[in-house]
Structure formats: C-alpha cells, structure tokens
C-alpha cells in the first residue's frame, strides 16, 4: 500500500516542480499572521527578515482540474486503509508538536533518548528549529489559505482536538512537514551515522500529514522545500552552529532510546 503512495508522491513532486519557478507573489518583509501557536512556543534562531521566503520559493497550490490536484486526491484515497491502524496512531503522535512529543518521535531514529534533562542542547535545538521552519511557511499559507482535505471531504483527522485550528490555518505548505524535514536534516548533521534512519523518519513524518487527512501531498512536498531552505539559512547563524556542536558532544553520553517503543514504531512504519 505505502509503496504505491510513495510512487505517486514522487510524481507529485515532479508535477509541483513543473508548475514553474515564477514567484507566487512579490517578496515581502512584513511579519505574517501566525495561526498555529505551535510555531511560537519558543523563540527561533532566525529573525523574520532572515527566514526563507515561501512566496519566492513556491509556486501556488494546485488549481482545480490539474494533474497535481488529481494526484493529491489519489494519494489521499490510497491512505484510507491505514486509518485505525498503528500507522494511523503514529500519524497522530507526529501531529502533536507540543514538546516533549517531537523529541520522542525522533529518538528511535536518532538512536538516543532525546530528553530535556539528558540532552538539553539537542532538545532546545529541536524547539527552536520548529519555530523557524514553521514560520517559513506562512507567506504562502496566508496568501492562498488552501482548504484542507478533511474539510473538503467532510471527514475527521487523526487528531480531532486540532481540527478547529486546522480549519483556519492554510493547508499549503505543510508547517509540520517543514519542521519534520528540517529536524531530519539537522539531526543527520549532528549524527551522520544515523542519517539514513533520520531521513527516513523525516519522510514518514511528512507522510503522516497525508495519512492524518490534515494535508494534501502537494502541501507536504512544498513543506519539505521550506524545511530544507530553513536549514540552509540556519547555517549562517552562529547560535545554531554552536548548538549543533554542543548537541554533537551530548550524544557521547546520551542513553539509548527505549527498545520496546522503537520496535513498535518500526512495525508501524513497515505497514503496507
């Protein structure tokens, strides 16, 4: 089941790129309206003017009648059999951006227990990257305010408590995915020997948004672009680079992630 989803997702990425590289709108330095409070839980590393500009980097969301929108619908339909399964439960866990849950979500891939007391620099870094990556999406989010799939299809998501917020927060691009992909990239830099596991977890983190019925696949694809662009910007920030070095040192004494939870996560991610 998921292999088909990933094949279709690749087609969606290609189609999204094929929409052209013309800016969706003029670059703006104005601070956007932030409708998801998760992206304001901690101060980020970057000032507003230093964030990547989604209005420059992204094409508009897919229009009615386009092949990309048709793929969005096909990919959504392909995830329906996963509802109520362990993979659905994992998507619910991925939807929760309130710490410590994101740290737990990446602990197995990292191979260590990411914890506020055991790995304070790594924990803090994840919190701050969440803010930067999430905020990077709001230029386009606010411009187009794309309707989410669960609203279009009059359904629920894997996280009902978030639905009132999601109805007012634009679907394109996915802020969750931007954060998840940024985390995967940064954590891979901190622990390169775990890079394959971390990148795979970052991919799955984004796909959780489609499985959850909270985002379209093209939202997720665009979110990954913004996550990567954010990480590129972060490499010009001295505080970020210092925290990366400190987090790398922490790993030398960090305890391993809980084996039982990692077995369950791997089983959920292996579902087909």
Number of residues assigned to the chain: 272
DSSP state, residue 84: T
d(CA 54, CA 16): 14
Residues 6+ apart with CB under 8 A from 33: 138, 142
Query: Would you call 121 a catalytic residue per the annotation?
Result: no
Query: Would you call 219 a catalytic residue per the annotation?
Result: yes
111: left (phi over 0), alpha (psi -120 to 50) or beta: left
Query: Would you call 224 a catalytic residue per the annotation?
Result: no
What distances in angstroms separate CA 146 from CA 60, 218, 251, one per listed residue? 10, 11, 40
Query: Would you call 124 a catalytic residue per the annotation?
Result: no
Give me the catalytic one of 209, 221, 224, 243.
209
Give me the catalytic one of 71, 76, 121, 215.
215
Give me the catalytic one of 71, 176, 194, 201.
176
Angle between helices 217-234 and 67-79 (to 10 degrees): 100
Q: Write the DSSP assignment of 109-135 as a string of letters.
A: HHTB---TTTSHHHHHHHHHHHHHHHH
* Active site positions, annotated: 176, 209, 215, 219
């Amino acid at each position: 089941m998921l292999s088909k989803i990933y094949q279709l997702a690749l087609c969606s990425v290609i189609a999204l790129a094929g929409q052209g590289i013309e800016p969706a709108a003029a670059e703006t330095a104005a601070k956007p309206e932030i409708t998801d409070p998760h992206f304001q839980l901690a101060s980020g590393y970057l000032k507003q003017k230093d964030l990547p500009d989604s209005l420059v980097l992204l094409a508009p969301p897919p229009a009615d009648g386009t092949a990309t929108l048709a793929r969005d619908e096909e990919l959504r339909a392909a995830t329906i059999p996963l509802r109520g399964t362990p993979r659905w439960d994992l998507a619910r866990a991925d939807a929760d951006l309130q710490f410590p849950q994101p740290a737990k979500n990446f602990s197995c891939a990292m191979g260590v227990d990411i914890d506020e007391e055991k790995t304070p620099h790594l924990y803090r870094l994840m919190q701050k990257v969440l803010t930067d990556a999430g905020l990077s999406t709001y230029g386009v989010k606010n411009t187009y305010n794309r309707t989410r799939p669960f609203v279009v299809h009059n359904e629920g998501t894997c996280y009902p408590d978030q639905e009132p917020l999601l109805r007012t927060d634009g679907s394109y691009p996915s802020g969750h995915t931007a954060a998840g992909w940024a985390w995967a990239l940064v954590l891979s830099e901190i622990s390169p020997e775990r890079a394959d596991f971390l990148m795979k977890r970052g991919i799955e983190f984004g796909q959780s948004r489609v499985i959850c019925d909270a985002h379209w696949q093209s939202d997720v694809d665009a979110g990954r672009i913004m996550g990567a662009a954010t990480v590129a910007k972060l490499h010009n920030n001295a505080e970020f680079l210092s925290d990366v070095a400190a987090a790398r040192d922490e790993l030398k004494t960090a305890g391993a992630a809980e084996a039982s939870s990692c077995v369950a996560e791997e089983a959920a991610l292996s579902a087909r």
